Each structure stands twice: as C-alpha cells, then as structure tokens.
Structure 1
C-alpha cells in the first residue's frame, strides 16, 4: 500500500511516466509560459496606455473645449500619449495639412482618424491570439497524453497476463495527469483572453466616441458638414 501511495505523488508519477507523456507535459509547460508572458505583457501595456490616454485627454480636452484647433495642432504632447493620443494626433496632423476646401478637409480628418483607430485596436489585440490558441488546444494536448497513456496501461496489463483495476490503476493515474495539466494551462488562458478582449472592446468604443467628438470640433471650426468616420 505504501508503494502505491508513493506512485501517486507528483514526483512518483513524473518518474514513472514514459517519454511521450513527458513530452506532452513539456509542451504544456511551454504553452503555459507563453500564455503567462502574454498576460503580463498585455496588462503592463494596457495599464500604461490607459494612463497615458487619460493624461492626454485631460490636457488636450481643455484646448479643444475652446475650439482652438491651431493651438491643439501645434501643441507638442510628447511621445507617451497612449492609444487615444495617437488617434487624435493623427486627426490633428490631417487637419494641419488639409486643403482649404472645408468638405475635403473634414473628410480627410475623418479618414485619418479611422485609419489610426484601426491600427490602435489591432495593436491592442497583439498577443491575444496566443491566449486563444493555448486556451483552445491545451485540453486536447493533455487528452492526447491521456489517451496514449491509457493505451500503454492496457498494453502493460496484456503483457503481464493479469487483469483487474489494480493492475492498471497506476498507469491510468499517470495518464490522467496530462489532462489535469492541460486544464490547468487552458483555464487561466481562457479567463485572461476573455478579460483582455473585453478591455480592448471597451477601448475601441472610447476611441470611436473620442474620434466623433473631435470630428465635431473640426466640423464646427471649419464651418463644414460633419462626416463621421465609418
């Protein structure tokens, strides 16, 4: 009984697993590290971008509230302006170089805002595909190890010439551990993906609203019709 208990410890299971199961566990470990790196990197990037965007909105909002687009266009806000600053900055650049025709100028600013907004959303989504891939495939990778482990357990039982659950229980436990590892890797990845995707969707709405508000200011300043970005 003592020997069987030892076999069910993590150390005992690792020592008794075959090369295939160890390869599965090693692959899951790599997937886990990759997902953790993406989680940490995205959280750091998101927090900084949100902080910089809020600082930009506080400074630029006061200028735009006066309707002084020339001052806004000539104001140097620095490099750390966040996703919102880069979108509005592209609109200000388009306004500064826009032609004298009012309709053309408003349309040019609208297209510049739309293009930069798409770039920012794609930039915020960078790395989320890794989390989605890990979350969807890790359970199946673990299941593959379990399937092969059970096959090996029954082969050992056939070679030993004896039946009964006791004969293969240790082998089945070793096989099921890969499924457990797969779930342990997949669950945090799925949770992180859903959380970060929701954050990106919220920022996308913020960008869209800020772009429309900025375009309203441009249209009023130029006296032309408002043409919202698609």
Structure 2
C-alpha cells in the first residue's frame, strides 16, 4: 500500500501535479481511443443488465400465465367456453397457441371440412401447422435481444483487450519521449490500459452467465408450449373421431 500511495502521489514527469489513480481519474487521463472503448463497454453493460432484468420478469410472468392457463384447460371446461373466454386477443403464448388452433378448428368444422377421413387428416395437419407457426412466432418474440447478451459475453473482453493494447502502446510512446522509466511514469499509463480490460470483464461475465441461464429457461418454456400443442391436437383428433 505504501508503494502504491507513493506512486499515486508522485509528481508526473518531474512536475508538481499528482497522478489520480481513482476510477474517474483513470478514465479522464486515458487516450481518446481507450475512452471510446470504455464508454462503449459501459453502454453495452448497462444495456445487457436492462435486457437481463426484462427477460427475467418476462419469463416469470409467462410461466405463471402458462400454469394458470393449463390449470383452466385441464379443469374440465369445454374447449368452446375456454376459447370464448380467451377471446380474439390472447395475452400469453400458450393461450395464443390454443386460440390459433381453435380458430382453424371452428372455421373448418363450420364449413363441413371434416366429414371424411381424408378431410379429418388434412384438418389435423392444418391445426398442427398453425400451432407450429404460432409457437415459432411467439418464441422469436421471447428470444428477442438474447443475441445481444451472447455478443457482449463473447466479445466484450476482446474489445477491452484492444483498449488495453492501445493504451500500453501509447504509454510506451510517452515513456520513450520523456526518457523516464520510473514507476511514477509507467504506472498511470499501464493502469489506464488495464482498466479497459477490467471494464470488458465486468460487461462480459454477467452477460455470458445470464445468456446461458436465460437461454435454458427459454428452451424449457418452448418445450412446454410444444408439449401442450401435442396434447391439444390429440384432444382435437379424438373429438373429430367422436363426431363420425
């Protein structure tokens, strides 16, 4: 600590000014390229945290809505009554899958497009396709901006390293110009450069960890939607057979 304090308080280049080793001081003393790298990494970090919190809250809400819908679905209520309750504007992906399938079901049955075995098989395929497209569309909306977390997690450290390399190059250039290799001259430039890598790590580590966790949760939710769609098409197929 004493050695560091001496460096931090040592005059720069033989002058009377002291070297500010605080976070703010390191930023203000950095080269403009290193500053740009730091600012970009800080913006990426803040945006990553905003995405993380938004996705966590969104997935929690979706899980609760899915559980509530499935409880109602398996409570014994008729499909027609449940569809009337969901209405034309379902408020979660699972009810959207249900509503899309029921719309196709009602339209086909009302037009008499399920009177033969071939027609029923075609109707089943249409319903499966409608649910598949709906699931894909809903999952794309849920996964939106997750790619940004992956990008930050994979590249922020390298961006910070670029700032570090640039800062060290400038630091050595200043050392050569001043012809002074004392610790008081070397330490500030190296510290500024390494600070860029530190910010890169601060941005990358949470983004990478959150991406892995959130991706797993999104994948499990997608499996839940697919399982519901499979169970629902089985119920509809059974009703078609009973109408024969």
TM-score under structure 1 length normalisation: 0.87
1:86 to 96, 105, 126: 96
For this pair of structures, how many residues does the alignment match? 220
Match of 2:206 among 180, 188, 194: 188
> Gaps spanning 5+ residues in structure 1: where?
225-230
Structure 2 gap ranges (5+):
10-19
**1:97 and 2:101 are equivalent in the alignment:** no
Is the Cα–Cα contact under 8 Å of residues 135 and 185 in structure 1 kept in the other structure?
yes
Equivalent runs, 1:109-124 vs 2, <5 Å? 109-124=127-142
Deviation at 1:116, TM superposition (A): 0.6
Return the match for 2:7 from 4, 8, 11.
4
**Pair 1:213 & 2:231 matched:** yes
Q: Normalising by structure 2, what TM-score?
A: 0.83
| Counterparts of 2:181 and 2:82, CA distance in 1 | 82
CA distance in 1, matches of 2:120, 2:82: 18
Contact 1:28/1:181 (8 A) holds in 2: yes
* CA root-mean-square deviation: 2.0
**Residue in 1 that maps onto 2:43:** 30
Superposition deviation, residue 4 in structure 1 = 2.0
The alpha-carbon deviation at position 162 of structure 1 amounts to 3.4
Higher Cα Rg, which structure: 2
Residue 38 to residue 31, structure 1, CA distance change in 2 (3 Å)? same
Residue 77, structure 1, aligned to residue 86, structure 2: yes
